[in-house]
Amino acid sequence: MKVEFTAAQIAALLGGKVEGDQEAKVWNVARIEDGAPGMLSFLSNPKYIHYLYETKSTIVLVNEDFEPTETVKTTMIRVKNAYESFAQLLAIYQEYTSNKVGISENAFISSDAEYGDNCYIGEFAYIGERVRIGQNVKIYPQCYIGDDVVIGDNTVIYAGVKLYAMTHIGKGCIIHSGAVLGADGFGFVPQPDGTYKKIPQIGNVLVGNNVEIGANTTIDRSTMDSTKIHDGVKLDNLIQIAHNVEVGENTAMAAQVGVSGSTHIGKNCILAGQVGVSGHLTIADRTIIGPQAGLTKGVGQPGKSIIGSPAYDYVKFMKDVVRQRNIDKLENKVAELEKKLEELLSK
């Protein structure tokens, strides 16, 4: 769907001021260096100023204090912060173009399920028994919503998501394609004959408000009680959250993080890509964990930065890296000193 906006309309949305053609129209966005007619771009980084004078984009957002040094051929819109305004405009555009409403006749909805106004339920979605769906929820095609699931207002669940029974999703969440919430935790008891006996997983998954969960991420149900993802958490693609884990408010995790069972992660933490966390640990608020780190023990001090495998203090780790890079020089120096010592002893 092609949606056009004029410079005047965009300026009104952003509280900006047009310099150029008020009726200039755009229908898509592009980087300023890749601009083309009909595109909207933005300029916030001084390194890209030279592109403004040659870009083919129809409209460019600039900071209100920007002073050009050459003639600008494109229409500019001056705003307080070009980067933030561009993000705001993208959010408005996405909301406008993805505002699907209606229930597909090819969806299956149990007779005792309930859903609010302005919902969208796509083709071949399955809505189980006693499901409660709030207002303005979007459930895309081929989703599975198990029995007794609760979904809060304004949540978007993209195609192919699987929500096992009793999963609770808060308001304003986004769950991307292929995510699985509520599968059994990895609980088995070794037997004398070398086999494993499964421990029933009878808990559920609780997801707070304004949480985003990336594609193909999995969050297991707890053995008992709940696996908890608190408000504002942001999970990238391909993340594994094991049973009984608790993730604090506004914590963010990059792709391929793995968190083992019964670990508690605090608020406002950052876990970089491919971090591995052992089970039954407690990680303090505002902890930053560098890429590919392996945690084998908890972090008790808030605001600490760690990296490495096993993970330890970031500053010490970087000093150790420098020492490791100089180890050949140190070895040569030791060999030289040993040779001189032998010469002295021989005399």
Same domain, 75 and 158: no
Same domain, 64 and 181: no
pLDDT at 99 (0 to 100)? 80
Same domain, 230 and 88: no
pLDDT at 1 (0 to 100)? 56
Same domain, 75 and 216: no
Same domain, 312 and 337: no
Q: Which of 62, 97, 132 is the last residue of a domain?
A: 97
Residue 280 designated active-site: no
pLDDT, one tens digit per residue, over 43-101 is 999 999 999 999 999 999 999 999 999 999 999 999 999 999 999 998 888 777 778 89
Same domain, 178 and 39: no
Same domain, 323 and 312: no
pLDDT at 154 (0 to 100)? 96
Same domain, 167 and 90: no
CATH number at residue 140: 2.160.10.10
- Show the domain range for 264: 103-316
Structure tokens at 200: 């029933």
Q: Which of these is catalytic: 168, 176, 230, 243?
A: 243
Structural element, H or E, at residue 220? strand 218-220
CATH number at residue 65: 3.40.1390.10
Same domain, 312 and 323: no
Same domain, 107 and 150: yes
Q: Which of 68, 97, 126 is the last residue of a domain?
A: 97
pTM of the prediction? 0.83
Same domain, 151 and 273: yes
Same domain, 204 and 323: no
What's the pLDDT band for 320 if we cut at 50, 70, 90? confident
Q: How many domains does the chain have?
A: 3
Q: Which residues are within 8 A (CB) of 12 and not within 5 positions of it... i.e. 6 or more apart?
A: none
How does 154-186 read in b/e, with b if 16+ C-beta sit within 10 Å?
bbbbbbbbbbbbbbbbbbbbbbbbbbbbbebbe
Q: How far is Cα of residue 334 from the mean position of the Cα atoms in its chain?
A: 49
